[in-house]
Homo-oligomer: A and B are copies of this chain.
């Protein structure tokens, strides 16, 4: 038997659960695990169904088969074979804690990633990538009026060439243009070092210090066209005091960033995240 995860979102109506279950039974499938959520505010239904199916059936056949169900119920859906490691590009800059953590977790089996390459506008991460036997691509911003656009074009081309399922911005400090973001909608995860929507943009720890907050946070979100505005997948915070200067906040925040980013990446690669407008459903 093979296994797959079906992720569904659609307007809420009576009978959806039965319709999905009936279809799975009709293809000889066996439901292993199912979770659902009804958003009463917007009358939307979300479901994650993990099921086994006969290995003589192809996933393409299943996908074609479910399409008519989906059409009937006005569903968005994805059908994903499991287990399959997500082929991933990790982008970073000079701060290495997030990329190092992702590489470690992948190595000791905490995250089901197949890291295709580490990509950076700096060379700081190169030794780290090498120590894990990973390809490293240095894509610096050069000089000249078009330097930034040229760098963005090179990154875009590189991501295409790498043929990845997922792009993780692990403290990549260059803002991406819409042309680079849109092709990766729902497949590009960023870690922002504040509890969004507070402290959007640059230097959030300095902003937090100057505002005198008593908690700092980190937010992992899908990247959208608008800076730091995409759907939030995971957030966490930690208490701070007046004794914490910007360097202390930065250090304490690192542990938040690594854990929150890893949590979001895991939820994504285990097909537990559905987006809905600017919000997410993250199954447990």
Question: Is the C-beta of A47 less than 8 angstroms from some C-beta in chain B?
Answer: no
**Interface locus among A59-67, A140-148, A194-202:** A194-202
- Chain A interface helix/strand/loop/mixed: mixed
Chain B residues closer than 8 Å to A233, beta-carbon distance: 214
**Closest Cβ–Cβ distance, residue A48 to chain B (whole Å):** 12
- What's the Cα separation between A100 and B31 when bound, in Å? 36
Does A246 lie within 8 Å of B213, measured CB to CB?
A: no
Question: Is the C-beta of A96 less than 8 angstroms from some C-beta in chain B?
Answer: yes
| Binary per-residue interface labels of chain A (167-182) against chain B in the complex, 1 for a CB within 8 Å, 0 otherwise | 0000000000000000
Beyond A131-B132, A242-B280, A255-B262, whether A41 also contacts B209 by CB under 8 A is yes
Within 8 A of B (CB), among A214-264: 214-215, 217, 231-237, 239, 241-243, 245-246, 251, 254-255, 259, 262-263
Which A residues form the contact surface with B (CB < 8 A)? 37, 39-41, 95-97, 100-101, 103-105, 107-110, 127-128, 131-133, 195-199, 209-215, 217, 231-237, 239, 241-243, 245-246, 251, 254-255, 259, 262-263, 277-282, 284
